[in-house]
Amino acid sequence: EKTKNLNVLHYKTHRTALLEAIHLQQHRTAQMLINHSSCDINLSTSNLLNERLKTPLILACKLQLLPVIHSLLECKQCNVV
């Protein structure tokens, strides 16, 4: 049986599915990914110059996506340091 890797990178932007959902401001998709146990909510990858090393939390803050920010901060595995 094939397993789904939610942390696979987009072939052009190198964003994860979570970063892509946040970038596209798809709140419900982002929420679903945040709540999925295999999604790494701290993974910061992108080959776009203005997004390098931005975690999902940083990108959500930049875009002022309050529901996503709240969900990320509620996760035990969220690194805020």
Distance, CA of 48 to chain centre: 15
pLDDT band at 54 (very low <50, low <70, confident <90, very high): confident
pLDDT band at 10 (very low <50, low <70, confident <90, very high): confident
Number of independent structural domains in the chain: 1
- 3 falls within a domain: no
Q: Give the domain range for residue 63.
A: 17-74
According to the model, what pLDDT value does residue 69 have?
96
- 28 falls within a domain: yes
According to the model, what pLDDT value does residue 31 have?
95
- 5 falls within a domain: no
- 10 falls within a domain: no
- 39 falls within a domain: yes
- 4 falls within a domain: no
Q: What angle do CA 76, 30, 6 make, to 5 degrees?
A: 80
Report the C-alpha dihedral over residues 73, 77, 26, 38, rounded to 10 degrees.
Answer: -160
- pTM here is 0.84
- 11 falls within a domain: no
Find the range with the poorest average confidence among 21-25, 42-46, 53-57: 42-46
